[in-house]
Amino acid sequence: MTVSELILKIDEILNLDLSSSLDVSSQTVIQAMEQNSCCKTLLACCNFVLDELYSEYALDCRNTVVNAVDGIIEVSNLNLRRVLSLTDSAGQNTPFKHSLDGLTVNRCGKYNLTYARKPPLLTFASAINIPDSKISERIFVYGVIAEYLRVIGDYSASSSWAGKYLQALQAAMSKTACAKLPCRRWLL
């Protein structure tokens, strides 16, 4: 699902009447959305909810080999949210510090970096990719609606949608353990 499709779905749910206010006679739907303030707010809410999902519920973890030059590991091209582990070639944890240039370590050389990524910044044409398949589009829509209603100041409706969002998230993220039945016994 793209962001523009999501916005049109939210338009149907909340009766925002965006479909009629978007002038698509001389431009595409995406160009019309780029000029609509309500659509811009919904896009910002999409980015907010996606960032929340990436940071709280569905980490996008990656592993890579990085090289430290002069005690600095360059991480600007990794879209790094946080470092989960940094180990040397022997598998030993390596102490590091965050700096403006990247990660500062004591020795130069190659390291194994496990990190969580930030979500990509969404545009109206972007496809929404959530790294955990347990989180459905419906859950994402609930979160965007709750955030949008909070932003426009409808706090009671926002609270209701936020409750639906959090309840659906908890249900999706809870572990579904198999029920263990007692073994069969002979009855006398």
Per-residue pLDDT, 115? 93
Q: What is the pLDDT of residues 118-150, one digit of tens each?
A: 998 999 999 998 878 899 999 999 999 999 999
Lowest mean per-residue pLDDT among 30-34, 132-136, 157-161, 175-179:
175-179
Q: Is 149 helix (H, G, I), strand (E, B) or coil?
A: helix
3-state secondary structure of 143: helix
Closest CA to 124 of 12, 24, 36, 65: 36
Assess contact for 83 and 117: CB atoms under 8 A: no
Lowest mean pLDDT among 5-19, 27-41, 63-77, 167-181: 167-181
Q: Which two tokens stand for residue 122?
A: 């969404």
pTM above 0.95, yes or no: no
Q: Are 45 and 144 in contact (CB under 8 A)?
A: yes
Choice among 48-57, 71-80, 167-176 with the minimum mean pLDDT? 167-176
HSE toward the beta carbon, residue 122, CA cutoff 13 A: 28
Task: Give the confidence band of 183 by pLDDT, cuts at 50, 70, 90.
Answer: low
Tell me the CB-side half-sphere exposure of residue 165, using CA atoms within 13 A: 22
Residue 144: exposure state from Cβ atoms within 10 A (0-12, 13-18, ≥19): buried
